[in-house]
Structure 1
Amino acid sequence: MSTLGKIALGALGAVSLLVTPGCISLLPESEPVSLYRLTGLTADEVAPSAQAQTILIDHISAPRGLAVDRVALLRDGELAYMAGAAWLSPAPTLLHDRILDVFLSETPELIPARSEDGVLARYRLQLELRRFEAEYDQGDDRAPLIQMRMVARLIDREERALAASRRFDISVRASDNRQAALIEAFSQASNQTAHALADWTTGVVCADSAC
């Protein structure tokens, strides 16, 4: 097992990792980069019900270290990024698109819209991404645990009140310590979060109004 030199990561500081061939590592940014998207089966879009409520889904806010297109890793409390890999768009943007897809295909009681669409809606869903990283909790050469945390706040604009809030914590163990396995685990965590968020939002809205 060879030791990589320390790599500057801006405000995150310098990080060094032990690597073996085929495992996740940190390398200079000049290395070739593979672009990834979040994957998952999405059913066909369902027609909204007659009493469907329009809901605005805001863009997801995130701390600076996660609001990027890099794949985040966590080792001994230090945040770093996967070498040779990046998201197709910043992580919050990919997650926002995935959540919209799930709402469109699984919640006929709700009509999701982007905040910039300019439509009128009683409810607004505010989302905050707090964790979205592969945590090496069992050592550098073992499959990491994907940790995802999303905080949701549902605003009732008609009543000018917070209708409900909830924190979603999802953990998925990667099948091994390779890029493809980590990306698949990130996708599983994202899909589980999107489904849980859609179910919870539907329950809150339909409890307050006819759906």
Structure 2
Amino acid sequence: MSRTYRLAGAVVLATSLSLLSACSILPKPEQVDVYWLPYAQTPIATSPSAPVSWSLKLDKPMASNALNSQNIAVVPEGNLISNYKGARWSDPAPVLLRNRLLDAFLQDGRIQGLSTDDSNLQSDFELGGELLAFQTRYNGKSPEVLIQYNARLVRSRDQRVIGSKRFETRLPLTNPMVPGVVAGFGQATDQLMPQVVQWVLQQGQAQR
């Protein structure tokens, strides 16, 4: 019996050592930094006017699989798209843009009936479209942030497109490291927001 116990103990010890050895060679999980999309804290400068009488729903723009993710996309050369290792956005890029648009319209204040596609609220108009680019791009050796948004304004009651326009922002980067890239995306969206807000207001008022 004592020999049997000794053999069992040896088997348990060998198994434990094997498991410890396996654990020691497993790769360590990648450390990932998660970034919010920054934005200017100062309100968007607009000409004073009364609030409009119509409401607006903001939809997440459609995007390719490469952009519809939390990866911070970069195009280092040609048609090769990659992402920054160890860094992620807090949400997929289409959600970041939609939420940034919501904040811009709230800051502007003229459209008081605002909602998003996360709710079932009815609205007079819907703003959607396609997010064509939301990435860092290397033009030669100089990186830049590139955002391309094809906006489409739709009348909700009959789903008629009343206007569409492509918006584009390019912002050269002085700091190619991830924190500098994130700051560049924030500055680029700050430039884009007033253009989209003003265009939507013009289109909506023309219909009313």
TM norm. shorter chain > 0.5: yes
Distance 1:51 1:171, change over 3 A: closer
Q: Which runs of 5+ in 2 are unaligned?
A: 1-26
1:166 aligned partner: 165
1:36 aligned partner: 35
Q: Distance in 2 between matches of 1:198 and 1:131?
A: 19
1:21 aligned partner: none
Structure 1 residue 66: Cα displacement: 0.4
Asked if structure 2 preserves the Cα contact closer than 8 Å seen for 1:174 and 1:184, the reply is no
| Identity between Structure 1 and Structure 2 (%) | 23
TM-score of the superposed pair, with normalisation by structure 1: 0.76
| Residue 201 of structure 2 corresponds to residue 199 of structure 1 | no
Larger fraction in helix: 2
Q: State the secondary structure of the residue aligned to 1:75.
A: strand
Equivalent AA in structure 2 for residue 118 of structure 1: N
C-alpha RMSD over aligned residues = 2.3
Q: For 1:75-127, what per-residue CA distance to the aligned partner results, in whole angstroms no more than 9, with x for missing partners?
A: 22200000121111112112211110111111414532112422222211113
Q: For 1:43-77, what per-residue CA distance to the aligned partner results, in whole angstroms no more than 9, with x for missing partners?
A: 579xx956431111112211000011011010222
Q: State the secondary structure of the residue aligned to 1:95.
A: helix
Asked if structure 2 preserves the Cα contact closer than 8 Å seen for 1:102 and 1:195, the reply is yes
| Residue 139 of structure 2 corresponds to residue 137 of structure 1 | yes
Aligned residues: 177
2:89 aligned partner: 87
1:169-180 to 2 correspondences below 5 Å: 169-180=168-179
Q: Which runs of 5+ in 1 are unaligned?
A: 1-27
2:120 aligned partner: 118
Q: State the secondary structure of the residue aligned to 2:81.
A: strand
TM-score of the superposed pair, with normalisation by structure 2: 0.77
Asked if structure 1 preserves the Cα contact closer than 8 Å seen for 2:145 and 2:185, the reply is yes
Question: Larger radius of gyration, structure 1 or 2?
Answer: 2
